[in-house]
Amino acid sequence: EMQLVESGGGLVQPGGSLTLSCAASGFTFSNYWMTWLRQAPGKGLEWVADIKGDGSQRHYGDSVKGRFTISRDNARDSLYLQLDSLRDDDTAFYYCARAGGRATYFDAWGRGTLVTVSS
């Protein structure tokens, strides 16, 4: 059964850093573009970043460009998101999701991990 499990969320001060992880299982991880999306509590969905199956291409949303870094380790079937220079408006549930390709729809999602940025 296909599964995505995020971890690493928590409370961090403005300007701080955090690393999120997503463990994948049940499919050939290296064959797929993978994505991070986020959802502020009670708000809508926002695409954050994506990365090609072999890691050779990465793209970021305008609101996180230059502050967040997406990466992957195909040997460990894991996806990561490094969050730096965090701001209050980065507070959200962060989901990893499997994509059908570059900038496409998302057919599998994890349950999410909550990042709270607050002093």
Partner 1 sequence: AIRMTQSPSSISASTGDRISITCRASQGIDSYVAWYQQKPGQAPKLLVYSASILQSGVPSRFSGSESGTEFTLTISRLQSEDSATYYCQQYYSYPTFGQGTRLEIK
Q: Give, as ranges, the residues between 72 and 101 that touch partner 1 (CB under 8 A).
A: 95, 100
> What residues have CB less than 8 Å from 56, skipping those under 6 apart?
none
Q: Is 59 exposed, middle or buried (0-12, 13-18, 19+ CB in 10 A)?
A: middle
Out of 103, 116, 118, 119, the residue judged to bind partner 1 by CB under 8 A: 103
For partner 1, the binding residue among 44, 66, 75, 119 (CB under 8 A) is 44
Instruction: Specify the residue, 38 or 72, whose C-beta has the smaller distance to partner 1.
Output: 38
HSE-CB at 53 with a 13 A cutoff on CA atoms is 10
| Site for partner 1 contains 8 (CB under 8 A) | no
Q: Which is nearer to partner 1, 1 or 119 (CB)?
A: 1
**Interface segment toward partner 1; rule CB under 8 A; list 9-17, 21-29, 38-46, 80-88:** 38-46
C-alpha 6/C-alpha 11 separation (Å) is: 16
Residue 15 tokens, joined: 């300007």
Binding site for partner 1 (CB under 8 A): 44-47, 59, 61-62, 95, 100, 103-112
